[in-house]
Amino acid sequence: MPRTALLVSTALLAALLPLSAARAADDPGPAPVAVDRFEGEVPFAAQPAEGIFTWGGDSDDPPTLALEERADAPEGAKVLSGSYDISGYGGFTHDFAADAPAHDWSAHQGVRFWWEGRGSGRKIAFEIKDGGAHGEASELWTTSFADDFTGWKRIELPFTDFAYRTDYQPVGGIDHVLGLTGMWGYAVTLPTGVKGTFAMDGVELYGRADQSLRAAVTTDAAVYPVGEGATAAVRVTVSSTGAVPLEEPVTVAYTTAGGTADPGRDYTPVEGTVTFPAGTASGAVRTVRVPTLKDGTAEAAETIPLRLTVTGAKPPAETPQVVVDAHGLPYLDSRLPVRKRVADLVGRMSLEEKAGQMTQAERGALADQGDIAGYHLGSLLSGGGSTPTPNTPEAWAKMIDGFQLRARATRYQIPLIYGVDAVHGHNNLAGATVMPHNIGLGATRDPRLVEETGAVTASEVRATGVPWDFAPCLCVTRDERWGRSYESFGEDPALVESMETIIQGLQGARSGRDLKENDKVLATAKHFVGDGGTAYGSSTTGTYTIDQGVTTVTRQELEAVHLAPYRTAVDRGVGSVMPSYSSLDLVGDGRGPVRMHARADMISGVLKGRMGFDGFVISDWNAIDQLPGDHASQVRAAVGAGVDMMMVPYGYKDFRTTLVDEAKAGRIGQRRIDDAVSRILTQKFRLGLFEHPYADTRGASRIGSAAHREVARRAAAESQVLLKNAGGVLPLRKNQKVYVAGSNADDLGNQTGGWTITWQGASGTHTEGTTVLRGMRDAGGDVTYSKDASAPTAGYDVGVVVVGETPYAEGVGDVGNGNDLELTDADKAAVDKVCAAMKCAVLIVSGRPQLIGDRLGEIDALVASWLPGTEGAGVADVLYGRRPFTGRLPVTWPRSQAQLPINVGDTSYDPQYPYGWGLTTLTKVPDGGAGTLRALATAAAAAERAGADRTGRALVDKARLIVQRKVGQHITAEAAKPFADADHLSLTGRYGAAVQRLAAAWRAAS
């Protein structure tokens, strides 16, 4: 071709090219931006500083890293090199500094780097961190490349290749949108199951982002439910990164096609195009309307997909669906009895729909929110720490409403039932009112107050759209080496039963009529049965020593100790029950240890049969995986045992598919499935979810309110157990100069314990509340604080040393699994220093007794503070005498770990402090001796015969105070045993016998 012709052709071609293509030919795009050169500019460090760090599934999985000088380095003098041998998972991360702004990568096409291939053929995952608070609280987007080459190669990863990571998100996901304007770094996941080495260099951003990446079309919802005959309005929005106007036009062609609704009979078909011209502002909206038609017949819901074809921008992640609501069917009629509504609905459902109702998934594990309808899921949950971002009441309600909206796309629009572990308040929600853990509530001996704590919890939970609480724990803790001890109200089944007023606080009336109210939730009695009785060393779960172990008991012991609280719970109308991970070895039945999730004799026979439980049984987290056999046999065993809904957080697809297959093969009966689904639907109807599936947030203003915190403050105050008070050190006076020390005086996280914001809890401040120190200052005390007691101690009237445990949950807290019952060396040193310098009171903030006997002589006052929750002001209230000390030990306080297990009723019983012990500052301790006790016994017996419980308890309490004064700190086995027996007898209404046992303790102390 002649040169002149070539020039003409080129000019003509340029004129015909779109503006963007011409610009691309003239403009190579932004210069590459370095992320890592590995020359030492980024240190090996972790949050909050900027740095590179390793991680892995266990101690052997993190790779080793080095900045290695290499003559063949593609860029500079050094590369990042390392070696690995990973059995679980492992890799490394570069996080940007958390105290600096996030980076904006939106102008670029992708990220690239040099990789030294080994020719292994293995996939290497590369993920980027988008949005959120910092690199460890961001949203993860991932892609991968194959190590199928040798030597150095530049790997280019366009941002369009990255997909939202579905198997793990550190904050449960944020908005599922790769925004690229708030980036926090990247991470590399290395291959598993093979030893290897790697080298990497020159990570940088490259290329220019085209508009199809920087602009996106979205709809305001994925599902649009409308009543029959109404018109759906689908809002189509275009937005751009950085909110800049569109550089090129964006067109959206739409058409109604497919679905289960009939065009022309159920709706009027629509099609057309909407255009957003170049220069359109980001956030512009167009509305597409889809009219539906009335045909006058009762029918299930029908879907109308609105298919969108987008040019010039990213299309919506999924096709929006208009749904014509189900109507005219009997189960939708709220005037009918619940049993008739249930029967009608179950009779219409397919096997697949029934199996979905029996399936519960973790919210953060949903591969796609469309799975809610696709798998007909009946339930979702938030595990410990699984929260929306931001972690606010509004975000919770919005998240759950979004999930409920998905359920509207199913045939019968069965609402989800969403569950959380609100075990001491709405403890996953930042800013919620956090109550003392159950062990502290047991110490209050105040059933009315415990019911109030349940009512506050229910109110705050339901106001965020959650209708179901996995609480209360009705375990009877028999060995304080157990990491779940603090989840128990105590070691005496009679005490646990007395605290079950919390069920009415959560649910309201025993009939279930209050469940539909916006301040009540479905309660869950857990963990059925015997989880508090597992033997030390019997656990086979990881490094646990006692949690999830084996409870070996006679049938009589099982009935009297572990089953008794469940009889009470069923009588109180509890709506759901959760079996225990533990195994039951019933002496004499010849079966040996059997996992509770497979014990049909207990779940179907005792709970549902003999006790008449009419709610539903929900499994514990992945508990069926611990049953023997393959997955199919595990499903058969659990469903056959009577478990109605399976908590299968990440395995919801496999479970639901397997359940359907087993039922079709006849290995799981249709009657068993219908029974399970009927139980689940019954509670959904009682909760009013069919009429009101979305969050009722009218009570949200009460979350963390002064009124709710006042209940928690009273509970914290009443939970304090005064074990020793030599010389009347407590209560403090405001004119005293007080020296405060210890690790738990000013640490809200330690004070609230496990199951607070996250599963394990954490030290430090992660929610709103008042520490013990802050409470003392707010009470008007003249307080000086020195955490480690390093400040001078001269010139003070009294010291208060607040010591104890750091947070843990479940088997992670088992003694022998990195834990013991001793104070830390730092806490011991603080106690020793302060108590040597002045009169002192020691407060133990912990989930269980701590061994303190070797220091009792130097301690003037000793308080078991348990885990008082967010309201440390309640602890200050009793320290300064605003409220009296009235708490009593819910568990026996041992002298040594060798005594464990030690419990009220044991034949051999010689504790540091007996069950039921608790000094008071309420009134002057009454005078009296043997004669007074005889008279009190006579009066108590008369009150017992007359059914005058309040009078009977008051008489026993008076006798207890007399005996405690006589016994003092010289507690012998001869006095301790009858003293503890008396508290148990009083709880069971045998007031006369209780005073007689106290008289025996008085005589033993003579």
Q: Which residues are known catalytic residues? A: 620, 810
- Residue 214 half-sphere exposure toward CB, CA atoms < 13 A: 22
Ramachandran region, residue 983 (left: φ > 0; alpha: ψ -120 to 50; beta: rest): alpha
d(C-alpha 138, C-alpha 182), whole Å: 9
- Count CB atoms within 10 A of the CB of residue 367: 15
Give the separation between CA 114 and CA 154, rounded to whole angstroms.
Answer: 4
Helix%, strand%, coil% for the chain, nearest 5: 30, 25, 45
> Comparing C-alpha atoms, which of 932, 884, 889, 883 is closest to residue 913?
889
Is there a contact between 296 and 262 (Cβ–Cβ < 8 Å)? no
Question: Nearest Cα to 548, choosing from 568, 523, 527?
Answer: 527
In order, the DSSP letters of 418-486 are EEE--BTBSTTSTTS-BPPPHHHHHHHT-HHHHHHHHHHHHHHHHTTT--EE---B------TTSTTGG
* Cα 567 to Cα 577: distance, rounded to the nearest angstrom: 12
Identify the bridge partners of residue 206 per DSSP, sorted by sequence position.
110
Written as six digits, the tokens of 509 are 């009336």
Report how far residue 643's alpha carbon sits from residue 622's, in angstroms, rounded to the nearest whole number.
Answer: 13
Give the per-residue SS3 of 86-142: CCCCEEEEEECCCCCCCECCCCCCEEEEEEEEECCCCEEEEEEEECCCCCCCCEEEE
β-pairing, 78-85 vs 64-69, is: antiparallel
Answer for the pair 535, 551: CB distance below 8 angstroms, yes or no: yes
Is 973 within 8 Å of 909 (Cβ atoms)? yes
Residues facing 525 on adjacent strands: 577
Distance between CA 870 and CA 770 in Å, rounded?
Answer: 6
In which element (H, E) is residue 342 found? Answer: helix 338-348
Report angle CA 222, 227, 231 to the nearest 5 degrees: 70
Strands (E) in 702-853, as ranges, are: 721-725, 737-741, 782-785, 798-804, 839-845
Measured distance CA(464)–CA(466) in Å, rounded? 6
Q: Tell me the two tokens of residue 820.
A: 């013991």
